[in-house]
A and B are shown apart, each in its own frame.
Chain A
Amino acid sequence: MRAHWPTMGTVASVHSVEPVPDAVLAAVRGALAETDSRFSLYRQDSELSRIARGELALEDAGIAVRDAYAEALAWRQRTDGAFTAHRPDGVVDLSGLVKATAMHDSAMLLDASGVSTWTLGVGGDLVRASGPHPAALGIVDPDARTRLFTAVRLGDHRRALATSGSAERGEHIWTRTDLPRSPFAQVSVAADDIVTADVLATAIVAGGQPMLELACDRWDIDVLAVGREGELHATPGMRAAIAAAAA
């Protein structure tokens, strides 16, 4: 089965060889919608929009917002500042992190359904059931998003594949002003969980080569980085995943 619907300013897709019960799909939709209504800056009534307008102090926000902010700060520290929870104008923007967190929560709902072959995609980030899958995952061409760039057959435990780019929706990634322009057009990170994959993909685009090296040293991840001139870098695990898809 395959379902897709608009949410969080983007589109969510669920694909599964076995059917996913309607109640589980509804719960996934609900989890994503709740995150959308609380955190989206394009919704005037969200808590984050009220904070941005100065109507609500961060410390008076709900526990979900404060938890997300605390986690964003923790990731900022872990990535030496490459990942940040603030726009250059100072507005708190947690959209990158909370989308991944909502996907993580949705993954737990799908896991609990007992279906073993599901894949969930939200705005180009993917998380799927642990274990073997009949098909590979694709990565879009950074120069033409109607084209497949490559495909990866990741290990059974590599549940998450997140991709960040510096081309589309420039405001998605807040590049530190004291850092040079990102050398990467697109960075894909595979990890055992979607939050780690998503945050690090964003951080590597923002933090460039030093962050790429830091992320590969510090976390158990596979990375494919596409440079602005088309040059490619891959970790051994990602290279093996590409070769496995090509075989």
Chain B
Amino acid sequence: MRARAVWGSVLAAFGVLAIGWGVGTAGSPTMAPTLPGSAGVSGSGASGSTGSNGTAGGGSTAGAAAAQASDGSYTGAAESTPFGTVQVSVTVSGGRLSDVTALHLTDRGGQSVRISNRAAPILRQEVLAAQSAHVSMVGGATYTSEGYLASVQSALDAAGWR
């Protein structure tokens, strides 16, 4: 079962590569938005910049892209990975791949969001303000049974907290 998950991620990775390759060579036909939920995000293929070859956006002019990819942004099919659904958006400029952006579908809102998950500094008082919360269980790097005996979790257990 685990081996299958690993293979799943390998296949997903190849899937992403294949999308990139498809854009780099043949262009847009496979790049039409595939998820209804993702239509709002760089969905229609043509996002903006007029490139050097002057073709306006790819999604709507797919038929013309036989030999060279039309300029524009394209969103690939969503790939399921063990870490969530991943989707890639590429930008073609002057017939070349100029940018690749990872989009992440949260599965739950059904909405694509650009990954922006930086761990930024946070004030101590913000963290300490939550100390008074009612907790059901406590996490910590208390790996040993000795550590457990000295931990707040053992106190909760001993108190029969429900």
Contact = CB atoms under 8 A, between A and B. Distances in A.
B151 A146 contact: yes
A217 B130 contact: no
Interface in A147-204: 147-153, 157, 161-165, 167-169, 172, 186, 188, 192, 196
A123 B121 CA distance: 28
B111 to A, nearest CB: 14
Interface stretch (A23-31, A43-51, A81-89, A226-234): A226-234
B141 interface: yes
Contacts of B150: 145-146
B159 to A, nearest CB: 9
A234 B122 contact: yes
Given A119-B136, A121-B139, A147-B152, A223 B131 contact: no
Interface string B54-76: 00000000000000000000000
A10 B140 contact: no
B121 A232 contact: yes
Interface stretch (B22-30, B38-46, B87-95, B112-120): B112-120
B162 A10 contact: no
A121 B141 contact: no
A240 B39 CA distance: 28
B140 A124 contact: yes
A124 B118 contact: no
A242 B127 contact: yes
A92 interface: no
A2 B117 contact: no
Given A10-B144, A220-B84, A233 B139 contact: no
Contacts of B115: 217
Nearest to B154: A11
Contact of B144 (A161, A168, A230): A168
A180 B34 CA distance: 45
A171 to B, nearest CB: 9
A220 B128 CA distance: 25
Interface stretch (A33-41, A52-60, A136-144): A136-144
A61 to B, nearest CB: 15
A115 interface: no
Contacts of B153: 11, 13, 121, 124, 140
A231 to B, nearest CB: 7
Contacts, number: 214
B101 interface: no
B144 A119 contact: no
Contacts of A123: 142-144, 148
B140 A235 contact: no
A76 interface: no
A2 B162 contact: yes
B16 to A, nearest CB: 13
B96 interface: no
Contacts of A136: 130, 133-136
Interface string A209-244: 000110011111101110000111111111100110
A121 B137 contact: yes
Contacts of A157: 108
B139 A162 contact: yes
A193 to B, nearest CB: 8
B130 A245 contact: yes
Interface of A: 1-2, 4, 6, 9-11, 13, 15, 17, 67-68, 70-71, 74, 101, 119, 121, 123-126, 128, 133-140, 142, 145-153, 157, 161-165, 167-169, 172, 186, 188, 192, 196, 212-213, 216-221, 223-225, 230-239, 242-243, 245-246
Given A192-B84, A221-B117, 4 more contacts: A10-B145, A168-B143, A169-B141, A224-B122
* 7 interchain residue pairs of minimum CB distance: A165-B141, A140-B140, A151-B133, A138-B135, A138-B138, A135-B136, A245-B130
